[in-house]
Amino acid sequence: MAIAVQSGRRRTKRGSSLPIFLVAPAVILLLLFTIAPAIYAIDLSFLHLKISGGLLGIGAPKEVWAGFANYIATLTDPEFWSSLGRMLIVAVIGVPATIFFATLFALCLDVKRARLVGFTRLAIFLPYAVPGVVASLLWGFMYLPATSPIGGQIINYFGTTGVFFSVTNVAVWGVVGFNMVILYTAVRSLPPDLFEAAELDGASELQIALRIKLPLIAPAITMVALFSVIGALQLFNEPTTLKPLTNAITSTWVPLMRVYAQANVNNDIYGGAATSFILIIMTVGLAVIVNLIGRRIVGRESK
């Protein structure tokens, strides 16, 4: 802290060239690799490829102005809305499950009588360190009847309804640990005298957890919810990796898979760019909504 304050003072004295210099690499990289490609993608989304005459085209195909055609094509494609619907189903199952388990584990680990906290915390966190593709393959093998140790012979994990739970399970399994760490840190940073006071008043561990800790970590829970919602919108790895195992998952199963298929399978990077841009707008919109709801909940709690 002291150092930060000091450097802050120095900054005001010496003028502002050093901070700019320090920040410059990050800004340049951001401009080069995030902003510039984004602008290029927006540009692409208003173009499309046209061949001219002949059976297989005379001369190279040209990029021509498409106006909003790509956007209209995406928005009027029933498959786009179906993929969005499937993503929402996964989100509706996955987001509450993530929040519930992450909160549950965080609160359990903070219970006074909890033993082996370090080990358990690591064990719960560990799946987060497993790459999504590996996790999906691992679970995929557990789901398939031929290799399933968890009853895949009896339960159809890739049934028309089951597939949603199977995909969600892989995703939730992967992120619960990460979110648990955020919430656990939030719980640990609460002033312990609050709990002592509650204990003196005769509150049980359960009551302390539900009535004191839970409301106090509500902002952290909101953040976890926001991460989970954004994560749900970015669902791609898990269904893509599970796709070859089953007929239940198509190449347009969730919106991002649809973007990938458009750009890299159907060779229509223009349509893919338009769909991406629509998704970004939706993601930002949803993030704002979740944030507002979260703030309102937190605001109400603190009153």
Partner 1 sequence: MRKSTLRNVIAAAGILAVAGATLTGCSSSGTTPSANSNKTVHLTFTNWDGGMQTVVDTWNKANPKIQVKLIKPSGTGYTLYNKLITNNKAGTNPDVTEVEYQALPALISNKVVVSLDKYLPNLSTDFSKSALAQVQFQGKTYGVPQNICPMVFFYRKDIFAKDGITTAPTTWAEYAADAAIIHAKNPKQQIGNFTAADPGWFAGLAQQAGANWWTTSGNTWNVAINDAASVKVADYWQGLITKGLVSPEPNWSAQWSTDMNKGNLVGWVGAQWGPNQLPSIAKDTAGKWVAAQLPAWTAGDNTVGIWGGETEAVTSNSKYPAQAAKFVNWMNGSTEGIDSLIKNVQVFPASTPGQALPSLQTPPPFMSNQADYNTLMATAAKGVRTFQIWGPDANVTFDSYSNAFGSALQNKTPLSGALTAMQNATVGDMKKIGFTVSTNAN
Residues that bind partner 1 (CB under 8 A): 26, 29-30, 32-34, 48-57, 59-61, 94, 98, 132, 140-141, 144-147, 160, 171-172, 174-175, 178, 227-228, 230-232, 234-235, 244-252, 261, 263-269
Enumerate helices (H) and strands (E) in the chain, giving the number of each: 15, 2
Q: At its nearest, how many Å lie between partner 1 and the CB of residue 178?
A: 8
258, 83 Cβ separation under 8 angstroms? yes
Per DSSP, the three-state class of 12 is: helix
What's the min distance (Å) between Cβ of 124 and partner 1? Answer: 15
- 37 vs 299, beta carbon nearer partner 1: 37
Q: Compare residues 26 and 200 and give the one whose CB is closer to partner 1.
A: 26
* Count of other CB atoms within 10 angstroms of residue 256: 21
What's the closest the beta carbon of residue 82 comes to partner 1, in angstroms?
Answer: 10
Residue 110 or 268: the one with the smaller Cβ distance to partner 1 is: 268
Compute the least distance from the CB of residue 57 to partner 1, in Å. Answer: 5
- Is the CB of 178 or the CB of 195 nearer to partner 1? 178
In the bound state with partner 1, the residue whose beta carbon lies nearer, of 92 and 114, is 92
CA–CA gap between residue 111 and residue 126 (Å, rounded): 21
Helices (H), 15-130: 17-30, 36-45, 69-75, 78-110, 117-129
Q: What is the C-alpha separation between 25 and 166, in angstroms, rounded?
A: 42
Minimum distance, C-beta of residue 131 to partner 1, in the bound complex (Å): 10
Angle at the Cα of 281 from the Cα atoms of 99 and 103, rounded to 5 degrees: 5
Structure tokens at 40: 């290029």
Give me the torsion for CA of 245, 249, 250, 252, rounded to 10°. -130
| 3-state DSSP assignment of residue 64 | strand
CB of 77 to partner 1, least distance (A): 10
- Nearest to partner 1 of 19, 145 (CB atom): 145
Task: Compare residues 121 and 169 and give the one whose CB is closer to partner 1.
Answer: 169
Which of the 8 DSSP states describes residue 65?
E
Angle subtended at Cα 182 by Cα 177 and Cα 184, rounded to the nearest 5 degrees: 85
Distance in Å, CB of 18 to partner 1, minimum: 21
